[in-house]
Amino acid sequence: MTSPRIYEHAAGLTWVLEDEAMQRACHALAFDGRVWLVDPIDTPEPLERAAGLGEIVGVLQLLDRHNRDCKAIAERLGVPLHRLPDALPGTPFEVRKVIEKAKWKERALWEPQSRTLVVSEGVGSVDAFAVSDDPVGVHPMLRPFGVGALRGYAPELLLMGHGAPVSGPTTAAALGTALDRSRKDIPKLLTKLPGIIRGK
């Protein structure tokens, strides 16, 4: 595993394994001197930098199959592991159910002060998701159905489980476009699919 790319942003930092085709992304969310790790992968430099943001008080697993290193990191740090939480009292986060199916359970986080939306799998910024010229796209398996649970949010910072963060005044529009084009972009996905599978 090569060193991940680290992005600093208003909510803390994100590290992305850019050498992988799906570019797994992890986040350290820092508010009021406390830090929560979201779907983390055990990589030394980002975790050291996360600890420098404040006291790490919890690990959040927002997707049922994103076990990653959540449990091991929580146990090593001696902090709670919140797996698929329905609420996070005492934190700045609102929890939203994105999908609740037998083989796919996913939560999203909304932090209203910084207007940060954290989505593990419903949308992403890698090629397999963002198949058009837009920076964000819907997960390939969800395109026929859409991700209605993410409508109504106007984030200024969008953190995803795959790919780089998207931030700034156009972020809300980028999310809205992704949701609106969920079905429309299926032909583009099918055209690009062979290259995506080959990792090109």
Question: If residue 187 lies in a helix (H) or strand (E), which one and from where to where?
Answer: helix 186-198
Q: In whole angstroms, what is the distance from residue 134 CA to residue 127 CA? A: 10
Position 200 scores a pLDDT of 46
Helix (H, G, I), strand (E, B) or coil at 190: helix
- Residue-wise pLDDT for 11-36, tens only, equals 999 999 999 989 999 999 999 999 99
pLDDT (tens digit, 9 = 90+) per residue, 114-147? 999 999 999 999 998 998 888 999 999 999 999 9
pLDDT value, residue 132: 85
Rg (CA), the chain: 16
* The model's pTM: 0.94
pLDDT score, position 197: 53
Percent of the chain with pLDDT over 70: 94
DSSP conformation letters of 136-167: -EE-GGGTTT--GGGTT---SEEEESBS--EE
Domains of the chain listed by start with CATH number: 5-198 (3.60.15.10)
| Confidence at 192, pLDDT banded by 50, 70, 90 | low
